[in-house]
Amino acid sequence: MELKVLVININEGYNQKLMESCQILKEYAQYVSKVRTYKKTLKLNEAVEKAVEECIREGILQEFLLANKAEVVAMSIFEYDREWEEEILRKEEFEAGKEMGKELGEKLGRKLGKEEERKNTEKERHRADSEKMRADSEKMRADSEKIRADNAEKELLLLKEKLALLERK
């Protein structure tokens, strides 16, 4: 089963064609806009009361508001309280998600750091092993040269001794 949802912004100033084709929707958007505007400077119940009175004076949802004023005020306050609670919940959940993401990022960073450190340690160990092999090889070559030099010196001494013996005869 596939569900496709189309979300339409019905705030004042959006979707003008839709608003022009549905006067009640347009007036509702105007009412909501007034509540939001007054909510910035007044308590919620005062903002709703003022918006309702102003809409009645301006002919916005006038008939409906006159017939259902108490219910509209109560419902608007309830709806804004619910929206406020949902906004608080969203912020708290966002912060919790951010904290969880931070913790996961730190764990991943530590894990990657340890892996990188292990790789670097292995590279250093390999480099040290190679250097030791080169040093050992160089020492063997030097030892071999010394042995050759010692042997050459011994041969030279033997030759000198033979020469001295020959000269005495």
Domain membership of residue 128 (yes or no) is no
Domain count, the chain: 1
**pLDDT (0 to 100) of residue 81:** 59
Confidence of residue 104 (pLDDT cuts 50, 70, 90): confident
Q: Which amino acid is at 140?
A: M
Which range in 85-99, 120-134, 152-166 is most confidently predicted, on average pLDDT? 120-134
Query: Which residues form the domain of 86?
Result: 16-112
Domain membership of residue 43 (yes or no) is yes
Query: Each residue of 128-154: pLDDT tens digit?
Result: 888 888 887 888 887 788 888 778 788
Domain membership of residue 134 (yes or no) is no
User: Averaged over 85-91, what is the pLDDT?
Assistant: 71
Domain membership of residue 88 (yes or no) is yes
> How many angstroms separate the CA atoms of 71 and 52, rounded?
11
Q: Is the pLDDT of residue 64 over 70?
A: yes
User: Averaged over 119-125, what is the pLDDT?
Assistant: 87
Domain membership of residue 99 (yes or no) is yes
Domain membership of residue 7 (yes or no) is no
Domain membership of residue 59 (yes or no) is yes
Domain membership of residue 29 (yes or no) is yes
What b/e string do you get for 58-81 counting C-beta neighbours within 10 Å, with b at 16 or more? eebbeebbeeeeeebbeebbeebe
**pLDDT (0 to 100) of residue 156:** 82
**pLDDT (0 to 100) of residue 158:** 83
